[in-house]
Amino acid sequence: MLGLAGHPLGISCLFLDPAPGAAAAAVGEQLVGAYDDPRLLAELARRCEVVTYEFEKVPVAAAERLAEALPVLPPVGALAAAQDRLAEKELLRRLGIPTADFTPVAGEAELIRALEERAGPAILKRRRFGYDGKGQAAIAGPDEAAAAWREVGRQAGAGPLLLERRISFERELSLVAVRGRTGETAFYPLVENRHREGILRLSMAPAIRVNEELQQRAEEYAVRLLDEFGYAGVLALELFVERGRLLANEIAPRVHNSGHGSIEGADTSQFENHLRAVTGLPLGSTSPRGWTAMVNLIGELPPAAELLAVPGAHLHLYGKAPRPGRKLGHVTVTAATPAERDDRLGGLAAMIPGLGEILSDRGEGE
């Protein structure tokens, strides 16, 4: 999607991806190999003017190596912070951005002790390289510690873990922010997100029931992060709303799944703005174009003809082979009012497994 956004701007992309025939190869040349292959990194450095990433598992050492030769944006510091949940949460706390209470746990005994000290439901998470809720376990109390440790702590390469208070959120929101190389900033309206089994299913933009104060508060938090890193590019901030108050869940130093609806739903998509930001072009307007909902297509693809028969529907397929739990594409509906958006989403629910249920309740936190 970055490659597609770059083409009309005259920006051609050279992609590094270990999977032969990666989705991006359809829109630009792909170097196939490991993210830390010295020869391929040297080729990127030689042939590119700027390097960016849209995937958080890129090794920090590889990004640092490239940064010696050319600009790597967003800055490597943001990538490093996002790769370790403990460092990330400590940073948020240091910047005065509220989060769920958390504590690092290095072993099962420590986990049991931490659960005894703090009453109430918790979530145990890998510190590094979790995604789509993988490497997480919900825990109701100390008697579930052993099972949770078995599930998460003993995963290959899990390393030390983080225990968080489980938030009983009213809803989940995200803020997609962008900062240019000149320091110019822009913010999209808050997006409302619904997850199932830890995977993002539905994003609605703009979120309804957002007052100016909530939007301002979220932007303030994002600015602290952007300034901290000397950032350029898109940064997403995932948020919970608990009793009307914003708590940060995590940051993503990249274009974000909850921003995919901006392709049709904003004056300038997050992808175009990310490219404008990292290449030093002026940022584009983030104003919404009506009301949009983005639904991830996970594991299997409904027939395109049926999806596209829904008024206002736009389809984005990633060219990936179907696999359970895999994001294969997304469909965005645009509408003139929130009610029309709901109506069109109802039309999609007939074809997308689980969507009806997601629309009829309000999220996993309740």
Residues numbered 210-239 forming contacts with ligand ATP, rule: CB under 6 A: 238
Residue whose CB is less far from Mg ion, 16 or 218: 218
We find the least distance from the C-beta atom of residue 280 to ligand ATP, in angstroms, to be: 29
Part of the chain binding ligand ATP (CB under 6 A), chosen from 34-42, 166-174, 334-342, 344-352:
166-174
How does strand 14-17 pair with strand 29-32?
parallel
Q: Is 164 in the site for ligand ATP (CB under 6 A)?
A: yes
Q: Which does 164 bind (CB under 5 to 8 A by kind): ligand ATP, Mg ion, none?
A: ligand ATP
Residue whose CB is less far from ligand ATP, 66 or 152: 152
Residue 255's CB is within 10 A of a number of other CB atoms, namely 27
Q: Is 167 in the site for ligand ATP (CB under 6 A)?
A: yes
Burial 151-190 (b: 16+ CB within 10 A, else e): bbbeeeebebbbbbbbbebbbbbbbbbbbbbeeebbbbbb
**What is the Cα–Cα distance from 326 to 310, expressed in whole angstroms?**
23
Q: Is 196 in the site for ligand ATP (CB under 6 A)?
A: no
We find the least distance from the C-beta atom of residue 257 to Mg ion, in angstroms, to be: 9
Quickly tell me which residue has 């986990």 as its tokens. 111
We find the least distance from the C-beta atom of residue 300 to ligand ATP, in angstroms, to be: 19
How does strand 199-205 pair with strand 161-165?
unpaired
- Name residue 241's beta-bridge partners: 171, 246
Q: Is 192 in the site for ligand ATP (CB under 6 A)?
A: no
Residues numbered 49-78 forming contacts with ligand ATP, rule: CB under 6 A: none
- Across 161-308, the runs of DSSP E, i.e. the strands, are 161-165, 171-179, 185-187, 191-196, 199-205, 233-242, 245-252, 291-298
Part of the chain binding ligand ATP (CB under 6 A), chosen from 24-32, 108-116, 160-168, 347-355:
160-168
Part of the chain binding ligand ATP (CB under 6 A), chosen from 29-37, 71-79, 130-138, 338-346:
130-138
Contact 190, 209 (CB under 8 A): no
Residue 245's CB is within 10 A of a number of other CB atoms, namely 12
Binding characters for ligand ATP, 95-114, by CB under 6 A (x = yes): -----x--------------
Q: Is 166 in the site for ligand ATP (CB under 6 A)?
A: yes
We find the least distance from the C-beta atom of residue 85 to Mg ion, in angstroms, to be: 10
- Name residue 316's beta-bridge partners: 330
φ/ψ of residue 29, rounded to 5: -75, 140
Q: Is 354 in the site for ligand ATP (CB under 6 A)?
A: no
For residue 254, with 0-12 CB atoms within 10 Å meaning exposed, 13-18 middle and 19 or more buried, which class applies?
buried
Which one of 185, 203, 249, 262 is in contact with ligand ATP (CB under 6 A)?
Answer: 249
Cα 156 to Cα 128, 130, 136, 298: the distances in Å are 12, 12, 14, 25
Give contact residues for ligand ATP (rule: CB under 6 A). 100, 123, 130-133, 164, 166-167, 172, 195, 198, 200, 238, 249-250, 364-365
Name the site residues for Mg ion (rule: CB under 5 A). Answer: 238, 250
